[in-house]
Amino acid sequence: MSYETETIKGKLFADNTFSFPIRVYYEDTDAGGIVYYANYLRFAERARTEYLRHLGINQDGMLKEKGIGFVVRECHINYKSPAKLDDALNITCKIAELKSASAKMEQKLYRGDTVLAEIEITIVFLSLATMRPTKIPEEITNL
């Protein structure tokens, strides 16, 4: 990608967008060497997880110690072009909207400068005890 970047806490950001590289392996593809459609969501999940980790959010600790965490509520994906075996991809992740108990995130999967897929996903902060949305703690919203 050709935009100005800055390093924050050792990760690559541009315009408040987190960037995560990934390689397409044989196991990610179908018999024709094309990435299976559901694997785009797996790649996006990995990027979101690394984004939260980068921000200092310990998802495992929240789940085990407080019984709270993020779950996917809604997901929309627009496939534009197929990814193929051995492609070097870049997945971006950006918070588009932050509410008291949820966040809307925008993600894009790139091969070079070509956008292969666009994903809009809503995650909700959930109490596992009640299985109901709960307010995102300030230590997270203040990051």
Contact (Cβ atoms closer than 8 angstroms) between residue 75 and residue 121: yes
Task: Say whether 113 is catalytic.
Answer: no
Coil, helix or strand at residue 140? helix
Q: Is 24 exposed, middle or buried (0-12, 13-18, 19+ CB in 10 A)?
A: buried
Nearest to 92 by CA among 109, 79, 80: 109
Cα–Cα–Cα angle for 68, 10, 47, rounded to 5 degrees = 45
Question: Of these residues, 15, 30, 87, 113, which one is catalytic?
Answer: 30
Which has the closest alpha carbon to 134: 123, 124, 121, 143? 124
Find residue 104's DSSP bridge partners. Answer: 97, 122
SS3 (DSSP) at 81: coil
| Residues belonging to the active site | 30
